[in-house]
């Protein structure tokens, strides 16, 4: 083996082997265990969030596979409608073209081409992560089978009246020219204005003052509303006001919606451009007041670009003064405010903070816009979905996310599922010349179902479905639904969904609704919600901030110049490049060194504490790369001492030492911890247990303790066999324990270690996962070992504090030992001498002690003679520190015991423990005091 661990040398090779041998596929036997990957965008690339999430899923999958479960990790990608279409449109724009220049068919062809080109990136990167996805079952949301599922679901929901088409206000993205759902709208606080505008009364001299943040929409006002109980305006209800700039007459109406305390208490009602106003309008549209208004008051002012309509594109434009026609909405706002001011109708302008809706993809200000769209009636689907979580058929981990889920589900609105884009599942609806709508799986089915003659011309709806519509079906569409496949029978419901909180609404909730509806059962039993991966300073990683880390760069390493150029090219705001350049150079002066996949995975696992966000610090991954190296070198040591030697697997007497028994006992406890931790999705605790056992127990103590046995000429063949046997068998087990988190290094080492441990098999992947064997917990041996360790630590402490070279053998004198101490000394002399580097061990009995530094092992006093070399002050300082520390503990204990109610009420064993402690502390302090006195007297 190489002296240093080099991940590159092994990772690629092992992944290829695993995949080629078909080892990721379900075994076909055992308890089913299935996870669906949250399908990444097919044309995307792997970011830290994916890498984190996939590490956790792969750890679970490998864990269950090793436990003998019939394990499937379903692979696949998402077509990501808007996102993907935008990428391709941007490419076209680079060539000076728009999708409309190409036409629908050619454009879609282009997108498929792009998918073909870049579609392999993310799946390649998933492989780099070691993800044991079953690639033979890989699906794509727009492949044939999944498209079948989409159609089937649409048609069935439509038949039940749970999908309908309707004209109403939607969130309109004027840049993308499509409707988006409520979830795709991000409200951002912005500094705006509240304009107070005078609306003169038609009769008489008076006027009303209306406060608005959007003066440009006044061109489409249908009414002015006041609160019915508002004394100031009660007498004006039913009167008409003259709409400024147009002269159009609109009524004053009364509606509870108006808050008399806000603004002026008068609200302009623009039903075609404001969600609230639309609701008000619905209540009043049949009133004579509104019937008198053009279009019944529902006046659509905007084109799909959110420009004011003009006479050449809309009949309603006659209502709009020509000077505003064709203006962009924000242009129109400026113009209208100026004109109002000139006309003396602008009473005042107040600064006003408000939430402005933006499209999550385009960033454009979203416009409430009146269009025909398809909707899912969500209420009837939500009800059982709420219940499934309430009664525990689905459990959120951490549990409190269920509150977020309930909160949203209980206030859920109908879901707008149609999008006016081209890349996606075309809506299976057809129209005849009269505008009749037919929904079916195909045009042929429409014709046969409705007995339409071939002469009837049908055109399919132009729209496509929201991407999340097909994602919602993922847990069963990937298994072959609507066909009744064996996979569905075996693997649905899946076991756990691993995902981020940001898509609980987008995806998790909708999968639950659809799963219950079409499969009659929940899609997964648990939802593990992990946190967001942030940068080292807690900032969200984003291209625009220039703080993105690419998981592949952490694995392979990247030089500074490449990193900087990666971060500064293709920025939306190129002026940021300089700052990003500077910050990156400061943070990574030498670029990023290679760490390997296993170190990255271990880091993610170690950071994955209960659902909170994680700050990704390079220091952590470095530490875990070192851990890989540690494990690697431990294996080298083991191999050096066991290869071609008798490890006792073919029989022969085994003599085990205290160290052998101790490490076996510790291993059992570690196995127990790791299993418990994984069972609770506490990957951090699992990683920690593995780390501590490997480094602090196996390497620091056990390997060191094995050396005296292996190197001593006096060791019997049985003792050598025993130690070799423990060396290999503990390591072999540790590798299996660690494999789900670090698959590569464990496989590589295991291949060499397993035969020595008498274990055969093609791969560690299919070896049984270690289960704790309580009977091997050996409390007695741990107590013995504790004594041994304290002895050694005592000597080392003195050595360190007295600045004595680690290599210098020391004599040690002992006082005040018990019969047990001397028996132990007898038993463990070899270990003590080697690990503490002792020249000799001598009982002092009655004799006077020379000048020495001291340590205590229980009651026994350990003296290291300093023969004139003693640094009196240093030793005194050390003793004083120790005495003070013990003194503090003693005080605490004594105070507690002096409290009669404590002694009476606390459990007897707790009190007894404290009493014992007091005795121990007193005696220890006494001994240290003696020693301090002696030193002082020197």
Partner RNA sequence: GGGUGCUUAGCUCAGUUGGUAGAGCGUCGCCUUUACACGGCGAAUGUCGGGGGUUCGAACCCCUCAGCACCCACCA
Q: 724-783: which residues touch RNA (CB under 7 A)?
A: none
- Out of 653, 800, 929, 936, the residue judged to bind RNA by CB under 7 A: 800
Per-residue mark of binding to RNA, 262-301 (x: CB under 7 A) = xxxxxxx-----xxx-------------------------
Q: Which of residues 851-880 bind RNA (CB under 7 A)?
A: none
Could you tell me the smallest distance in angstroms from the CB atom of residue 263 to RNA? Answer: 3
The one segment of 45-53, 121-129, 602-610, 845-853 that binds RNA by CB under 7 A: 602-610
Q: Which of residues 310-329 bind RNA (CB under 7 A)?
A: none
Residue 330, judged by CB atoms within 10 A of its CB (0-12, 13-18, 19+), counts as: exposed
Counted residue by residue, the chain has a size of 938
Per-residue mark of binding to RNA, 882-901 (x: CB under 7 A) = -------x------x--x-x
Which among 294, 359, 358, 305 is positioned nearest to 332, based on CA atoms? 305
The single residue listed with the structure tokens 């007898």 is: 826
Determine, following the binding rule CB under 7 A, whether residue 56 of this chain makes contact with RNA. no
Which among 734, 760, 759 is positioned nearest to 673, based on CA atoms? 734
Angle CA 705–706–712, to nearest 5? 105
Determine, following the binding rule CB under 7 A, whether residue 637 of this chain makes contact with RNA. yes
The single residue listed with the structure tokens 């480094």 is: 695
With the C-alpha atoms ordered 633, 638, 644, 649, is the resulting torsion angle positive or negative? negative
- Out of 295, 331, 613, 643, the residue judged to bind RNA by CB under 7 A: 613
Nearer to RNA, 281 or 505 (CB): 505
Alpha helices in 34-178 (DSSP H): 48-66, 81-94, 99-102, 104-128, 144-159
Q: Which residues share a beta bridge with 252?
A: 224
> Is 844 in contact with 813 (CB distance < 8 Å)?
yes
3-state SS of 367-415 is EEEEEEEEEECCHHHHHHHHHHHHCCCCEEECCCHHHHHHHHHCCCCCE
Could you tell me the smallest distance in angstroms from the CB atom of residue 602 to RNA? Answer: 11
Q: Which of residues 472-531 bind RNA (CB under 7 A)?
A: 501-502, 505
Q: Which of residues 347-376 bind RNA (CB under 7 A)?
A: 352, 354-355
At 27, phi and psi to the nearest 5? -75, -25
The one segment of 55-63, 320-328, 516-524, 702-710 that binds RNA by CB under 7 A: 702-710
Determine, following the binding rule CB under 7 A, whether residue 801 of this chain makes contact with RNA. yes
User: Can you tell me whether residue 349 is helix, strand or coil?
Assistant: strand
Determine, following the binding rule CB under 7 A, whether residue 408 of this chain makes contact with RNA. yes
DSSP 141: T
User: Can you tell me whether residue 505 is helix, strand or coil?
Assistant: helix
Could you tell me the smallest distance in angstroms from the CB atom of residue 249 to RNA? Answer: 20
Could you tell me the smallest distance in angstroms from the CB atom of residue 217 to RNA? Answer: 9
Q: What is the per-residue DSSP string for 61-72?
A: HHHHHHTT-EEE
Determine, following the binding rule CB under 7 A, whether residue 140 of this chain makes contact with RNA. no
For the record, the structure tokens of 214 come out as: 């959007």
- Out of 23, 164, 431, 902, the residue judged to bind RNA by CB under 7 A: 902
The one segment of 49-57, 140-148, 255-263, 565-573 that binds RNA by CB under 7 A: 255-263
Cα gap 442→533, rounded to integer Å? 44
Which among 741, 618, 556, 550 is positioned nearest to 9, based on CA atoms? 556
Nearer to RNA, 576 or 699 (CB): 699
Could you tell me the smallest distance in angstroms from the CB atom of residue 699 to RNA? Answer: 4
Nearer to RNA, 646 or 684 (CB): 684
Could you tell me the smallest distance in angstroms from the CB atom of residue 266 to RNA? Answer: 7
Determine, following the binding rule CB under 7 A, whether residue 9 of this chain makes contact with RNA. no
The one segment of 326-334, 509-517, 658-666, 905-913 that binds RNA by CB under 7 A: 905-913
> Is 678 in contact with 686 (CB distance < 8 Å)?
yes
Determine, following the binding rule CB under 7 A, whether residue 609 of this chain makes contact with RNA. yes
The one segment of 385-393, 400-408, 420-428, 758-766 that binds RNA by CB under 7 A: 400-408
Determine, following the binding rule CB under 7 A, whether residue 431 of this chain makes contact with RNA. no
Nearer to RNA, 262 or 843 (CB): 262
User: Can you tell me whether residue 525 is helix, strand or coil?
Assistant: strand
Nearer to RNA, 224 or 472 (CB): 224
Q: Which of residues 87-126 bind RNA (CB under 7 A)?
A: none
Determine, following the binding rule CB under 7 A, whether residue 910 of this chain makes contact with RNA. yes
Could you tell me the smallest distance in angstroms from the CB atom of residue 480 to RNA? Answer: 33
Determine, following the binding rule CB under 7 A, whether residue 135 of this chain makes contact with RNA. no
- Out of 17, 97, 568, 633, the residue judged to bind RNA by CB under 7 A: 633
Cα gap 40→54, rounded to integer Å? 11
- Out of 391, 805, 869, 937, the residue judged to bind RNA by CB under 7 A: 805
Could you tell me the smallest distance in angstroms from the CB atom of residue 637 to RNA? Answer: 3
Number of residues interacting with RNA: please give it, by CB under 7 A: 97
3-state SS of 644-681 is CCCCCCCCCCCCCCHHHHHHHHHHHHHHHHHHHHHHCC
Determine, following the binding rule CB under 7 A, whether residue 545 of this chain makes contact with RNA. no
């Amino acid at each position: 083996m190489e002296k240093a661990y080099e991940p590159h040398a092994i990772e690629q090779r092992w992944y290829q082997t695993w995949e080629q041998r078909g080892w990721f596929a379900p075994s076909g036997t055992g308890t089913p265990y299935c996870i669906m990957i949250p399908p990444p965008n097919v044309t995307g690339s792997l970011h830290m969030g994916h890498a984190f999430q996939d590490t956790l899923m792969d750890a679970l999958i490998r864990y269950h596979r090793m436990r003998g479960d019939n394990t499937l990790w379903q692979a696949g990608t998402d077509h990501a409608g808007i996102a993907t279409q935008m990428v391709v449109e941007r490419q076209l724009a680079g060539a000076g073209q728009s999708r409309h220049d190409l036409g629908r068919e050619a454009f879609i062809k282009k997108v498929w081409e792009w998918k073909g080109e870049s579609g392999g990136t993310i799946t390649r990167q998933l492989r780099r992560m070691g993800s044991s996805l079953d690639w033979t079952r890989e699906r794509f949301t727009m492949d044939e089978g999944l498209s079948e599922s989409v159609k089937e679901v649409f048609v069935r929901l439509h038949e039940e009246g749970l999908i309908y088409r309707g004209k109403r206000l939607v969130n309109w993205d004027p840049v993308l020219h499509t409707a988006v759902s409520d979830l795709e709208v991000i409200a951002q606080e912005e500094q705006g204005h509240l304009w107070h505008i005078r609306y003169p009364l038609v009769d008489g001299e008076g006027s009303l003052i209306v406060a608005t943040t959007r003066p440009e929409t006044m061109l489409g006002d249908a009414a002015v509303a006041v609160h019915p109980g508002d004394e100031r305006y009660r007498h004006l209800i039913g009167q008409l006001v003259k709409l400024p700039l147009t002269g159009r007459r609109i009524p004053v109406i009364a509606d509870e919606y108006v808050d008399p305390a806000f603004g002026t208490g008068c609200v302009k009602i623009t039903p075609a451009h404001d969600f609230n106003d639309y609701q008000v309008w619905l209540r009043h549209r049949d009133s004579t007041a509104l019937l008198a208004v053009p279009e019944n008051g529902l006046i659509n002012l905007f084109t799909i670009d959110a420009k004011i309509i003009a006479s050449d594109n809309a009949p309603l434009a006659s209502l709009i003064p020509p000077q505003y026609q064709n203006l962009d909405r924000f242009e129109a706002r400026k113009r209208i405010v100026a004109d109002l001011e000139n006309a003396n109708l602008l009473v005042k302008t107040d600064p006003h903070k408000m939430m402005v809706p933006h499209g999550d993809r385009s960033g454009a200000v979203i416009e409430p816009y009146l269009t025909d769209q398809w909707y899912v009636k969500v209420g009837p689907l939500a009800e059982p979905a709420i219940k499934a979580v309430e009664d525990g058929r689905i459990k959120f981990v951490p549990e409190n996310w269920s509150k977020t889920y309930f909160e949203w589900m209980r206030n859920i609105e109908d879901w707008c599922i149609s999008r006016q884009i081209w890349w996606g599942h075309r809506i299976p609806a057809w129209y005849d010349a009269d505008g009749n709508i037919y929904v079916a799986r195909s045009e042929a089915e429409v014709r046969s179902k409705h007995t339409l003659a071939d002469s009837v011309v049908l055109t399919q709806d132009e729209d496509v479905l929201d991407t999340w519509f097909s994602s919602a079906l993922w847990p069963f569409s990937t298994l072959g639904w609507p066909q009744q496949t064996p996979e569905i029978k075996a693997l649905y419901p899946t076991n756990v969904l691993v995902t981020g909180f940001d898509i609980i609404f987008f995806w998790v909730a909708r999968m639950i609704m659809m799963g219950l509806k079409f499969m009659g059962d929940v899609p997964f039993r648990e939802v593990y919600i992990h946190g967001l991966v942030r940068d080292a300073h807690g900032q969200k990683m984003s291209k625009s901030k220039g703080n993105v880390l690419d998981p592949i760069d952490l694995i392979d390493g990247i030089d500074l110049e490449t990193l900087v150029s990666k971060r500064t090219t293709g920025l939306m705001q190129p002026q940021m490049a300089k700052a990003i350049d500077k910050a990156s150079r400061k943070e990574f002066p030498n670029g990023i060194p290679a760490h390997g996949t296993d170190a990255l995975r271990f880091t993610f696992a170690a950071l994955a504490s209960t659902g909170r966000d994680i700050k990704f610090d390079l220091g952590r991954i470095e530490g875990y790369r070192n851990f890989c190296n540690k494990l690697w070198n431990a294996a080298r040591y083991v191999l050096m001492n066991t290869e071609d030697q008798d490890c006792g697997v073919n029989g022969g007497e085994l003599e085990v030492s205290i160290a052998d028994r101790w490490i076996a006992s510790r291993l059992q406890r570690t196995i127990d911890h790791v299993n418990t931790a994984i069972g609770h999705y506490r990957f951090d605790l699992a990683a920690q247990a593995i780390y501590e056992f490997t480094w602090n127990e196996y390497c620091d103590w056990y390997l060191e303790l094995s050396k005296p046995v292996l190197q001593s000429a006096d060791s019997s063949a049985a003792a050598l066999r025993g130690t070799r046997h423990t060396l290999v068998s503990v390591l072999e087990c540790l590798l299996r324990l660690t494999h789900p988190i670090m698959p590569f290094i464990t496989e590589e080492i295991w291949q060499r270690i397993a035969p020595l441990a008498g274990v055969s098999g093609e791969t560690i992947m299919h070896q049984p996962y270690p289960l704790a064997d309580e009977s091997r917990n050996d409390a007695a041996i741990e107590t013995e070992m504790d004594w041994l360790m304290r002895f050694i630590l005592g000597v080392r402490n003195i050595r360190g504090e007295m600045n004595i070279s680690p290599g210098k053998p020391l004599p040690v004198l002992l006082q005040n030992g018990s019969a047990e101490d001397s028996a132990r000394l007898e038993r463990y002399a070899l270990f003590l001498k080697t690990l503490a580097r002792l020249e000799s061990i001598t009982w002092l009995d009655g004799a006077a002690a020379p000048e020495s530094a001291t340590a205590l092992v229980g009651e026994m006093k350990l003296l290291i003679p300093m023969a004139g070399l003693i640094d009196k002050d240093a030793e005194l300082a050390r003793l004083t520190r120790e005495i003070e520390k013990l003194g503090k503990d003693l005080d605490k204990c004594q105070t507690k015991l002096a409290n009669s109610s404590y002694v009476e009420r606390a459990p007897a064993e707790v009190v007894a423990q404290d009493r014992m402690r007091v005795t121990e502390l007193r005696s220890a302090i006494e001994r240290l005091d003696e020693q301090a006195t002696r030193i002082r007297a020197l």
